[in-house]
């Protein structure tokens, strides 16, 4: 009798192990990269966001544009050599844009070389009509963005219509953008011209570009909210990432003098001088509201 019970228990444990193993395996895509597992998607993505539409008094001034620097990169290499299928997180990109658009701001969409914007479409909130609407409205711009160097050449001197630079999150923001001298030029331009810089989650990786060519970190001493390295280190356990990341983010920023205000991947948002940051996808709605309210207060 005891033997039968033990055999049955072992069978149950084995089946449970197989189920858990299957649910936590990242999904292999056609190009050889991996998107998050079924379990990771159920834990880390939503069908509908927490976007709450606010009736802002629309901005009527001259500084009505937001420059949005998107990634054009899809695959982030892990320490084990596997590629994570990434890009810009759609919620982190589009929910803040919704708030800014509702307040009367418009967007200049750029990528480093003018290649199409890449989104983490596995994280797209397919039941959110507001997010789908703004995505479709700017879809042609996402497909044919402006080349960043062309924006620099055409807009730095002659265009005073910009209020802010926005760098959305998503692990794709860590591919190339921290090493892009044109990104550094834009951030310095924003800083020198008293524009706001808005970013969240892994988007603050762009701030690292200001240290290129042995320059002092532009945001030394700034308070900011950033996706915690500790959470990134945990996500391979549930198959969100297909391995451990090569480079950390929050610790690198902290080592340069940033004051990271959050320890969780939560909805923390903060303004320090002209820098507005958020901690994670959960901060997308709060970041959008904070950025919009801050710009309207500053510009009106």
Q: What positions carry a catalytic annotation?
A: 201
Cα(99)–Cα(66) distance, rounded to whole angstroms? 12
Written as six digits, the tokens of 219 are 């945001």
CA 101 to each of CA 31, 75, 269, 273: distance values in angstroms, whole numbers, following the listed order: 35, 30, 19, 23
Residues 260, 173 contacting (CB under 8 angstroms): no
β-strand pairing of 269-272 with 275-278: antiparallel
Cα(180)–Cα(26) distance, rounded to whole angstroms? 30
Q: What is the DSSP string of 89-142?
A: -HHHHHHHHHHHHHTT-EEEEEESSSPPP-B-GGG--TT-HHHHHHHHHTHHHH
Q: Residue 256, SS3?
A: coil
Residues 168, 70 contacting (CB under 8 angstroms): yes
Written as six digits, the tokens of 274 are 């002209």
Helix/strand/coil percentages in the chain, nearest 5:
45, 15, 40
Q: What are phi and psi of 260, to 5 degrees?
A: -75, 120
Cα(109)–Cα(43) distance, rounded to whole angstroms? 30
- Residue identified by tokens 């356990």 is 237
């Amino acid at each position: 009798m005891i033997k039968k019970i033990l055999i049955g228990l072992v069978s149950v444990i084995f089946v449970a192990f197989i189920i858990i193993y299957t649910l936590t395996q990242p999904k292999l895509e056609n190009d050889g990269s991996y998107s998050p597992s079924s379990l990771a998607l159920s834990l880390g993505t939503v069908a509908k966001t927490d976007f709450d539409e606010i009736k802002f008094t629309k901005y009527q001034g001259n500084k009505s544009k937001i420059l949005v620097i998107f990634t054009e990169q899809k695959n982030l290499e892990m320490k084990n050599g596997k590629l994570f299928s990434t890009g810009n997180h759609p919620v982190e990109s589009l929910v803040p844009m919704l708030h800014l658009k509702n307040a009367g701001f418009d967007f200049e969409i750029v990528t480093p070389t003018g290649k199409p914007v890449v989104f983490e479409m596995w994280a797209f909130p397919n039941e959110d009509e507001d997010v789908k609407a703004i995505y479709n409205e700017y879809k042609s711009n996402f497909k044919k963005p402006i080349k960043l160097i062309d924006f620099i050449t055409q807009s730095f001197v002659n265009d005073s219509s910009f209020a802010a630079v926005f760098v959305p999150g998503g692990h794709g923001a860590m591919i190339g953008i921290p090493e892009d001298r044109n990104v550094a030029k834009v951030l310095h331009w924003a800083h020198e011209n008293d524009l706001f810089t808005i970013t969240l989650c892994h988007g603050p990786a762009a701030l690292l570009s200001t240290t290129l060519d042995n320059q002092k970190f532009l945001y030394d001493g700034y308070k900011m909210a950033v996706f915690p390295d500790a959470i990134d280190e945990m996500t391979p356990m549930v198959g969100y990432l297909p391995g451990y990341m090569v480079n950390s983010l929050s610790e690198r920023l902290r080592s340069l003098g940033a004051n990271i205000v959050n320890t969780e991947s939560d909805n923390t948002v903060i303004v320090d001088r002209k820098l507005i940051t958020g901690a994670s996808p959960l901060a997308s709605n709060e970041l959008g509201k904070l950025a919009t309210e801050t710009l309207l207060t500053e510009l009106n």
